[in-house]
Amino acid sequence: SHNKSIEHYFSTIGEKADEIGLSKEKIKKDFLQKLFYQLGRVPAVTTSNDLYTALALTVRDRVLRQFVRSTEEFSKKNSRGIAYFSAEYLPGPHLGNNLLNLEIVDETREALKELDLELDEIIEQEVEPGLGNGGLGRLASCYMDSLATLGIPAIGYGIRYEFGIFKQEIKEGWQSEATDKWLHYGNPWEVIRPEVSYVVKFGGRTIHSTNENNKYAVEWEPESEVVGTAYDTPVLGYQSNGIIMRLWKAEATESFDFSVYNMGDYYKAVEKKVRSENITKVLYPNDENLSGKELRLRQQYFFVSCSLQDMIRLNFVQGRKLEEFHEKFAIQLNDTHPSIAVAELMRLLVDEHEMEWKQAWKITRNTFAYTNHTLLPEALEKWSVSLMGRLLPRHLEIIYEINSRFLHELREKGLSGEQIARMSLIDEHGEPSVRMAHLATVGSFRVNGVSQLHSRLLKTQVLNDFAEIWPDKFTNVTNGVAHRRFLAVSNPGLSRLITEKIGNGWLTDLTTLKRLEKFADDEIFQKQWMEVKLENKKLLSQLLEERAGVKIDPTMLFDVQVKRIHEYKRQHLMLLHILDLYLKIKDGKGENIAPSAFIFAGKAAPGYFMAKLIIRLVTAVADLVNNDKDVNKILKVAFLPNFSVKQAQRVYPAADLSEQISMAGKEASGTGNMKFALNGALTIGTLDGANVEIREEVGEENFFLFGQTTEEVQETRRLGYRPSKYYEEQEDLERVLDFLVSGELGNGDHELFRPLYNNLLQQDPYQLLKDFKSYCERKHEIHQIWKDQKEWTRRSILNVSRVGKFSSDRSILEYCQNIWNVEPVKLRD
């Protein structure tokens, strides 16, 4: 009976598998049934959340059905499965996306209309899982979407944080953080799997011995244990497949709590339970910065151990030998956060499954591939040897063993002592620590960066020593975005217009947008294009009025920077420019300035003082500009609080200008840059990350370039950068900087922005002052082009028609070809 297909089971209940309830009538019926029987409500007395939950459950049934079908197909094909290991995911709202992928948006809308309900209002209710910080977590979710759509057997492993990224509020101009209770109203999308659970050990000591067969063996006697339980969320691809995102929640082990060791001590047992559950309590809210906290390492090890144990179980369930593990699985490490997996797989193979070291190492090295997402030194993970030894004593031994064999290899190659020390997995400078990027590199068969520029810098700088001995290990996969979510779902107006012109082939092949190119000069099409943009801007204006208390004329140039707040991203460069415009208008020299709305959003890590001060500066500049009658007809500034995927989906469609202004060499890729371009915004940007490739695709003349190149930045630093030189030489810049501490900002407090002022004048680590002039010049040019709306629109159309490369479908196909060696399995024609 185990071999019977899903078709068989449905036939036994008189339902044909093809009739999976995608009609309006069936949706309506199921929706009402969910409302009655699952929630005990009738439409007349419901809360908006009841309606949302009933609809989500209705859709979930259909999603799960597709998922079960896919699993069946995948197991028939028996191809290599991909496990994506990521400490973060940012799936965004599920409902709208799933409706699109099931192709039942219209049917659902009509079913609800017959009940006097409005689909868009229900969709609005969803609380998204904020299980990530920013680009890295969102990329993981884009990749889940494409893996499913392309029919690749895959599973996304991660952590089910009870509290995701904090909720950002603005209080008196400052960011304040509140906890994110995303599970408060329940989560209709997940399926708990209590039987899929694993024990994870921590601390204690190792016992080395030779067993009765004269075999060397190591036993790990832990100090404590926790259990991880699987929570599955199906992720549906377009038109067909489903894969799962499997997130682990930590709980106490029964056996341990109530064991003889603490017999009768109920309170101690409860305390242990609480401590165990702490592991998956909260996401660390640092983007590209280390906390170095023990709990973070516990989280990383916890989810990695559960996931590897799960994969080994699957391997056996599917009747395979452990020796074939790497042939049947590839594991993609999303940055170094899961890189302890290299040592954990070795431990499982050698200690628990009694495999020889050499064979285990061969399997391990052929299983893992590592994606690096940043070159920032403060983001490169290191764990102190003492912490690692205390928390994961066996893993530290294994890391030492890997290292000793690796260094031996290097000596045999004749490398210098200096180079060997640089490459060691252990950093001996100061407090000894484990370099996780080195562990990931040594333990993987492939290492990739996330844009051409970043991959080149990775090879020639941060991991240069490794690239020299293993040139073939290194490769690039430029990031991409889930265009179905970020265009089809979030920008229905533009999607409709595009589909009218070129058909809907772009949903599965974004490069077909090329066909729009020939309409770039078509005046009627331009007009329609402008109308769609204006509608989107009206919607964003409403949101900004509600959330930021700023009224914005939707015909203004919407100049937008939304992303995590970080000095290297240089939100403050944009602010310096806004102040420059402000002062010019006050001087009566504003005649060339196009009426502009400057829109910001993004979270600052709670412990990152400068980033929080930058947010304070945005709100101070907003107060100044928006309340000044000489200026507020020309300029408006708004900070949209609590940026999230949901908010992002409303921002990108409304943007005219996308700000991608990081110091060259610092932004590994960026993905917001792609989402903006896809929605018809033009870009002002540096030659950083994927901007380089965007510019290459859309054409130099359609991209507003400014600032130093990576090489120039490095040369400037080498020559001894003196930011005050620019202050002294450029009057405009001097005036703007002095204005920061003039008391005119921030209610007369001269000292409020002094730290920023001092930082820029004394160090300016991200060389804003050097790039200020070329940034302002480009902005001036942009304002002139904006006045010619036809020309602007022509460029906007060209941008969209040329960004086909930046779909995550393309990225995933590259991972398949150049890294995983798997073929997509197309399930339906």
Catalytic (active-site) positions: 373, 563-564, 569, 671, 675
For 318, phi and psi rounded to 5 degrees?
A: -80, 10
At closest approach, how far in Å is the CB of 284 from ligand TH1? 8
At closest approach, how far in Å is the CB of 661 from ligand TH1? 13
- Token representation of residue 147: 């893996």
- Token representation of residue 450: 């996330």
How distant is the alpha carbon of residue 136 from its chain centre?
3
659 binds ligand TH1 (CB under 6 A): no
At closest approach, how far in Å is the CB of 373 from ligand TH1? 3
Strand stretches in 642-762, DSSP E: 657-660, 682-685, 703-705
How distant is the alpha carbon of residue 740 from its chain centre?
33
> Judged by CB, which is closer to ligand TH1: 151, or 665?
665
Q: Identify which range of 78-86, 131-139, 425-433, 439-447 contacts ligand TH1 by CB under 6 A.
A: 131-139
689 binds ligand TH1 (CB under 6 A): yes
693 binds ligand TH1 (CB under 6 A): no
139 binds ligand TH1 (CB under 6 A): yes
Choose which of 180, 335, 693, 771 interacts with ligand TH1 (CB under 6 A).
335
Give how far Cα 488 sits from Cα of 47, 366, 508, 748, Å.
Answer: 29, 38, 11, 47
Q: Identify which range of 416-424, 665-673, 679-687, 771-779 contacts ligand TH1 by CB under 6 A.
A: 665-673
d(CA 384, CA 400): 13
Choose which of 245, 341, 343, 450 interacts with ligand TH1 (CB under 6 A).
450
d(CA 587, CA 581): 10
Choose which of 107, 225, 288, 559 interacts with ligand TH1 (CB under 6 A).
288
697 binds ligand TH1 (CB under 6 A): no
At closest approach, how far in Å is the CB of 161 from ligand TH1? 13
Q: Identify which range of 425-433, 493-501, 667-675, 739-747 contacts ligand TH1 by CB under 6 A.
A: 667-675
> Judged by CB, which is closer to ligand TH1: 138, or 778?
138
At closest approach, how far in Å is the CB of 176 from ligand TH1? 22
- Token representation of residue 330: 């590839």
Choose which of 111, 136, 663, 692 interacts with ligand TH1 (CB under 6 A).
136
69 binds ligand TH1 (CB under 6 A): no
Q: In what order do the strands lie in the sheet with 368-371?
A: 191-202, 224-236, 242-252, 154-159, 81-85, 329-334, 368-371, 444-449, 474-476
Choose which of 145, 162, 180, 287 interacts with ligand TH1 (CB under 6 A).
287
Closest CA to 346 of 411, 396, 404: 396
> Judged by CB, which is closer to ligand TH1: 367, or 479?
479
Assess contact for 202 and 223: CB atoms under 8 A: yes
Assess contact for 374 and 824: CB atoms under 8 A: no
At closest approach, how far in Å is the CB of 184 from ligand TH1? 25
570 binds ligand TH1 (CB under 6 A): no
Q: Identify which range of 132-140, 592-600, 646-654, 809-817 contacts ligand TH1 by CB under 6 A.
A: 132-140
> Judged by CB, which is closer to ligand TH1: 58, or 671?
671
669 binds ligand TH1 (CB under 6 A): yes
667 binds ligand TH1 (CB under 6 A): yes
Nearest residue to ligand TH1, by Cβ distance, number only: 135
Choose which of 66, 479, 561, 626 interacts with ligand TH1 (CB under 6 A).
479
Q: Identify which range of 174-182, 313-321, 661-669, 764-772 contacts ligand TH1 by CB under 6 A.
A: 661-669
691 binds ligand TH1 (CB under 6 A): no
> Judged by CB, which is closer to ligand TH1: 479, or 536?
479
d(CA 135, CA 88): 10
At closest approach, how far in Å is the CB of 440 from ligand TH1? 13
User: Across the chain, which distance is largest between two alpha carbons, in Å?
Assistant: 92
- Token representation of residue 371: 């994606």
282 binds ligand TH1 (CB under 6 A): no
100, amino acid identity:
L
Helices 393-412 and 357-365 pack at an angle, to 10 degrees, of 80
809 binds ligand TH1 (CB under 6 A): no
User: In this structure, are strands 426-427 and 433-435 parallel, antiparallel, or unpaired?
Assistant: antiparallel
> Judged by CB, which is closer to ligand TH1: 656, or 667?
667
d(CA 50, CA 35): 7
161-200: which residues touch ligand TH1 (CB under 6 A)? none
For 555, phi and psi rounded to 5 degrees?
A: -85, -5
- Token representation of residue 788: 């010619």
Assess contact for 565 and 285: CB atoms under 8 A: no
769 binds ligand TH1 (CB under 6 A): no
User: Using only C-alpha atoms, what is the Rg of the chain?
Assistant: 28
At closest approach, how far in Å is the CB of 147 from ligand TH1? 16
Q: Which residues pair with 229 in a beta bridge?
A: 197, 249
332 binds ligand TH1 (CB under 6 A): no
d(CA 506, CA 503): 8
Closest CA to 476 of 461, 455, 462: 455
310 binds ligand TH1 (CB under 6 A): no
The SS3 assignment for 564 reads coil
At closest approach, how far in Å is the CB of 679 from ligand TH1? 17
At closest approach, how far in Å is the CB of 457 from ligand TH1? 12
Choose which of 123, 148, 668, 698 interacts with ligand TH1 (CB under 6 A).
668
Contacts with ligand TH1, 571-610, as mask; x by CB under 6 A: ----------------------------------------
Closest CA to 124 of 27, 203, 52: 52
Q: Which residues pair with 252 in a beta bridge?
A: 226
Contacts with ligand TH1, 344-373, as mask; x by CB under 6 A: -----------------------------x
Choose which of 58, 86, 133, 596 interacts with ligand TH1 (CB under 6 A).
133
> Judged by CB, which is closer to ligand TH1: 137, or 234?
137
User: In this structure, are strands 474-476 and 81-85 parallel, antiparallel, or unpaired?
Assistant: unpaired
Q: Which residues pair with 370 in a beta bridge?
A: 333, 447
Choose which of 282, 379, 420, 534 interacts with ligand TH1 (CB under 6 A).
379
**Considering CB under 6 A, how many residues would be counted as binding ligand TH1?**
19
d(CA 795, CA 699): 10
688 binds ligand TH1 (CB under 6 A): no
420, amino acid identity:
I
At closest approach, how far in Å is the CB of 693 from ligand TH1? 12
508-567: which residues touch ligand TH1 (CB under 6 A)? none
Give how far Cα 571 sits from Cα of 183, 500, 552, 617, 694, Å.
Answer: 32, 38, 21, 10, 21
Assess contact for 53 and 39: CB atoms under 8 A: yes
> Judged by CB, which is closer to ligand TH1: 253, or 286?
286
User: In this structure, are strands 444-449 and 368-371 parallel, antiparallel, or unpaired?
Assistant: parallel
How distant is the alpha carbon of residue 121 from its chain centre?
26
> Judged by CB, which is closer to ligand TH1: 234, or 665?
665
65 binds ligand TH1 (CB under 6 A): no
d(CA 793, CA 530): 7
> Judged by CB, which is closer to ligand TH1: 34, or 438?
438
Give residue for tokens 């380089």.
Answer: 692
- Token representation of residue 163: 């509290």
- Token representation of residue 512: 């077909």
- Token representation of residue 441: 């590199």
Q: Which residues bind ligand TH1 (CB under 6 A)?
A: 133-136, 139, 287-288, 335, 373-374, 379, 450, 479, 667-671, 689
